Amino acid sequence: MKDKVLILNQDFSAIAVCSIYKAFLLVYLEKAEMITRSEAGALRTITRTYPVPSVIRLQRYVHVPYHGIALSRHNVMRRDNYTCQYCGTIKNLTLDHLLPRSRGGETNWQNLVTACTRCNSRKGDRTPEEAGLKLLRKPIRPSLQYFLKMHLDTTNQDWGMYLGVKE
Ligand SMILES: [Zn+2]
């Protein structure tokens, strides 16, 4: 069963993903309304049947401070889909500074990629070009929408219209 629910702000902008349990609670407490039902079916108690939400919308507008996604080891790996950005493996992952720190490389979204220990040590104190390594993707600063879209493949397709994804 698909177990994630997309939360929309009052203005229908996507702001988060939560569990079905939390979504139920928000709807039950009348903090949110159900926008789309999940195809996953319904939750049944002895006396009642509750449709499972796929998208809910907050009743009141919530100010989401716009300072983006926090730069962290976890979030860099998440952005890179937990794959080494040089060879594509998913094992023994570390973070690599494209321009090494020892050479003044900064710790930011554009200079950090997920790399396996093997590629990382092969690269050593060099840039990818110097080491003859090619990046699978150019590292970007991810937005909240970017992370929400990553859920799309595995969750409900009816989220697409709220995330600006053409269907
Ligand atoms: Zn690698």
Write the pLDDT tens digit of every residue in 17-31: 899 889 999 999 999
Closest among 167, 157, 163 to 40, alpha carbons compared: 157
Ligand 1 mean position, distance from CA 148 (Å): 26
| Residue 163 near residue 36, CB atoms below 8 Å | no
Whether residue 16 is contained in a domain is answered as: yes
CA distances from 81 to 75, 113, 139, 167 (A): 9, 11, 12, 22
Whether residue 149 is contained in a domain is answered as: no
Ligand 1 mean position, distance from CA 154 (Å): 25
The total of structural domains in the chain comes to: 2
Ligand 1 mean position, distance from CA 149 (Å): 25
The three-state secondary structure class of 72 is coil
Ligand 1 mean position, distance from CA 83 (Å): 8
CA distances from 29 to 8, 59, 62, 88, 132 (A): 16, 11, 16, 44, 57
Residues 17-74: pLDDT tens digits?
Answer: 899 889 999 999 999 999 998 877 787 888 888 888 999 999 999 887 766 788 999 9
| Residue 7 near residue 14, CB atoms below 8 Å | yes
How many residues in the chain? Answer: 167
For residue 167, name the pLDDT band (cuts at 50, 70, 90).
Answer: very low
Do residue 85 and residue 127 come from a single domain?
Answer: yes
Q: Average pLDDT, whole number, for the chain? A: 89
Report strand pairing: 112-116 vs 32-44.
Answer: unpaired
Do residue 21 and residue 58 come from a single domain?
Answer: yes
Whether residue 144 is contained in a domain is answered as: no
Q: Which residue has the higher pLDDT, 68 or 2?
A: 68
What CATH number corresponds to the domain at position 78?
A: 1.10.30.50
The pLDDT value recorded for residue 118 is: 97
Do residue 92 and residue 124 come from a single domain?
Answer: yes
Do residue 57 and residue 100 come from a single domain?
Answer: no
Closest among 89, 152, 79 to 122, alpha carbons compared: 89
CA–CA separation, 114 vs 141, rounded Å?
14
Do residue 28 and residue 49 come from a single domain?
Answer: yes
The three-state secondary structure class of 65 is coil
Do residue 60 and residue 8 come from a single domain?
Answer: yes
Cβ neighbour number for residue 79 with a 10 Å cutoff: 22
CA–CA separation, 89 vs 85, rounded Å?
8
CA–CA separation, 123 vs 35, rounded Å?
49
Ligand 1 mean position, distance from CA 92 (Å): 9
Can you name the residues that pair with 49 across neighbouring β-strands? Answer: 44
Domain that holds residue 17: 4-64
| Residue 90 near residue 83, CB atoms below 8 Å | yes
